[in-house]
Structure 1
Amino acid sequence: MDGDNPQQVLERLARERGDDYAALSRLIGRNAAYIQQFIKRGTPRRLAEEDRRILAEYYGIDEQLLGAPTGKASRKNPFSDDSAAGKMVAVSHYAVNASAGPGALTGEEEELSRIAFPERWLRRLAGGDPARLSIITVSGDSMEPTLSDGDEILVSGDDGADRLRDGIYVLRVDNALMVKRIAMNPANRRFTIKSDNDGYPDWPDCDPDSLEVIGRVVWAGRRLA
């Protein structure tokens, strides 16, 4: 990556990791088009210091590759040590799909692999205990354009039924696992289960006791075409 400008560096890292630009934008707390505009249009001309720091930590690279001033003290690569700043956490990736459609039947949830992330990044992203995070795959198109078929989603089991609020959740209903948007009724604890794709119907006035809340979706990544 030597000689590449920050836009080229970030584009290459995203492509190699299979990260979607909108997900990277959400990671740094920006609007969904922010990273794409930075890479493709050069707007903004340079990343803000905090945005650059988060992305460098996420990818385990020197901040100068993303445009930090020459002579700025480099942050340690979080993959290179076991200090508090560099500690890695392995998140289990399960061989199960959360259907963004009618619902995928599930049996035993077999662990496919474990993917390492910086612990500090996970805590900032999701809060709670990183050991309660898991990765599963989206199946179907009912959550388009937010989530697409084949997207990998990071699910926080710490953010479940007792903290239910508006957002995207993985739910189990009659052994069918699905990923849907929940819209809470402010007058009581009942809610509507919604699909972001207008071609799918909503399920209004749901009782929390009628289903199992697996966890809240806190991050998503996808392979770029």
Structure 2
Amino acid sequence: MPDSYKKRTLEEKNEGKRFFRSDIKNRFAQRLEEAMAGEANLSFAQKCGISEATIRKYKKGETTPNLEILESIAKVSGKAIQWLIGVESETVKVKTPISENITYIEKFNVIASAGGGAYIDTEVVAELYPFSLEFLKRHRLSHADLCIIEARGDSMEPTLSSGDDLIIERKEFTAHKVLQGIHVISIDGELKVKRLEFDLVKDGYSIISDNHLYQEDFIERKDLNCMRIIGEVVMILGKPPKGLPELH
């Protein structure tokens, strides 16, 4: 394995657990403080249906809410979701009005390469896509674990095409947990969309491009700390690809 695969800082390892969130926390904390307009933490938290301790964590920038709680905060404060996450309304597109039966999945302006690899430049919300809670439940998905990013390149053709919006289920990964299927992975700061297959004999993962013009890679179990699993591709917006469910 190339030496470049083995170069990871402690910061990169820690950030892997909260991928996409670090860019939002500080801005949300500032906007929440403004939205509360001096109201006591306990009073505001009760109106939102959450604990006072949770509000304190939000204001300190220690964590961020899922979109269900974000909707509650928006209703109570009278502020728009896009304003609360720190982006001006003309920048972030919200596809439909807030509804009790609708939740939103964030699309980030990062690109996962279905090719040679795309570097992560920024991690901010570009759009909010509405989804029926019933639809997500039917597919055994939790909106808090989902995000949307764009694929770029042709290495996963015909399964994925350049420009496809991928619904990613974010998940924790350890060397002892076997993964199969198409995943977004990060190696040396590059996001890639690849098919992972565990090889019991070789004790590691084959990193496969569905386009046979691209060479297959392999990473041994002992080197898995060099590869960060961002999440599994569970759906593609707007088309019925091979090997993945169609979005209805």
TM-score (normalised: structure 2): 0.52
- C-alpha distance 109-117 of structure 1, shift in aligned 2 (>3 A): same
Alpha-carbon distance in structure 1 between the residues aligned to 2:179 and 2:202: 12
- Note the aligned Cα RMSD (angstroms): 2.3
Structure in which a larger fraction of residues adopt helix: 2
Select 1:113's aligned residue among 115, 127, 134.
127
Q: Does 1:215 align with 2:231?
A: yes
Report the Cα offset of residue 122 of structure 1. 1.6
Partner of 2:151: 138
- CA deviation profile, 1:1-48 (whole Å, cap 9, x unmatched): xxxxxxxxxxxxxxxxxxxxxxxxxxxxxxxxxxxxxxxxxxxxxxxx
| Structure 1 residue ranges (4+ consecutive) displaced by more than 4 angstroms after TM superposition | none
Alpha-carbon distance in structure 2 between the residues aligned to 1:189 and 1:90: 39
Task: Report the residue type matching 2:236 in the other structure.
Answer: A
Alpha-carbon distance in structure 2 between the residues aligned to 1:175 and 1:98: 11
Report the Cα offset of residue 132 of structure 1. 1.5
Task: Report the residue type matching 1:215 in the other structure.
Answer: G
Select 2:180's aligned residue among 166, 177, 195.
166
Partner of 1:153: 166
Report the Cα offset of residue 107 of structure 1. 2.2
Partner of 1:104: 118
The 5-angstrom pairing of residues 1-225 of structure 1 reads: 82=100, 87-127=101-141, 129-158=142-171, 160-162=172-174, 163-187=177-201, 190-206=204-220, 207-222=223-238
Count of residue pairs the alignment pairs up: 140
- Can you give the 5+ residue segments of structure 1 that lack an aligned partner in the other structure? 1-78
Question: What secondary structure does 2:225 align onto?
Answer: helix
Alpha-carbon distance in structure 2 between the residues aligned to 1:155 and 1:210: 21
Report the Cα offset of residue 130 of structure 1. 1.4
Task: Report the residue type matching 1:114 in the other structure.
Answer: L
Report the Cα offset of residue 100 of structure 1. 0.3
Is contact 1:126-1:156 (8 Å) kept? Answer: no
Report the Cα offset of residue 185 of structure 1. 1.6
- C-alpha distance 100-131 of structure 1, shift in aligned 2 (>3 A): same
Report the Cα offset of residue 223 of structure 1. 6.8
Report the Cα offset of residue 211 of structure 1. 0.9
Task: Report the residue type matching 2:234 in the other structure.
Answer: V
Question: What secondary structure does 2:215 align onto?
Answer: coil
Is contact 1:126-1:218 (8 Å) kept? Answer: no
- Can you give the 5+ residue segments of structure 2 that lack an aligned partner in the other structure? 1-96, 241-248
Question: What secondary structure does 1:122 align onto?
Answer: helix
